[in-house]
Amino acid sequence: MKVAHIVPVDKVGPYRTGTLENLTVSDIENVLGFSANCEDDPDKVKYSWGFEVDGTYAAIWDYYNSHKLRVWSVYDPYDVLKDLFKGEK
């Protein structure tokens, strides 16, 4: 399995293209290698990650406390998160 090159980017997801489920904040941090790094809408989003995976921009965020249900909104136009999170998407 190829190891992905993940780089934090201070840019929130522009819109939702999919969902990750059954993951905690710690699970996401362990895969990405860093804590939530984006300031997002504080009334709607508590955790938000922006990053590039092998040069492709992606993002993960919770929406209205969805993290409590272990449900995450994602932006990944090329399905890059499926491999990172082992098919949880």
Judge whether 57 and 10 are in contact, CB under 8 Å: no
Instruction: Give the tens place of pLDDT for each residue, 1-25.
Output: 466 899 999 999 999 999 999 999 9
65 or 2, which is more confident: 65
The structural domains of the chain, with segments of one domain joined by +, span 6-77
Instruction: Supply the pLDDT for residue 67.
Output: 97
C-alpha 33/C-alpha 7 separation (Å) is 9
Sign of the dihedral defined by the CA atoms of residues 59, 63, 67, 72, in that order = negative
* DSSP count for the chain of H helices, then E strands: 2, 5
88 or 72, which is more confident: 72
Token pair 């136009």: residue: 77
Instruction: Give the tens place of pLDDT for each residue, 35-50.
Output: 999 999 999 999 999 9
Give the H/E segment covering residue 6.
Answer: strand 6-8
State the pTM of this model: 0.92
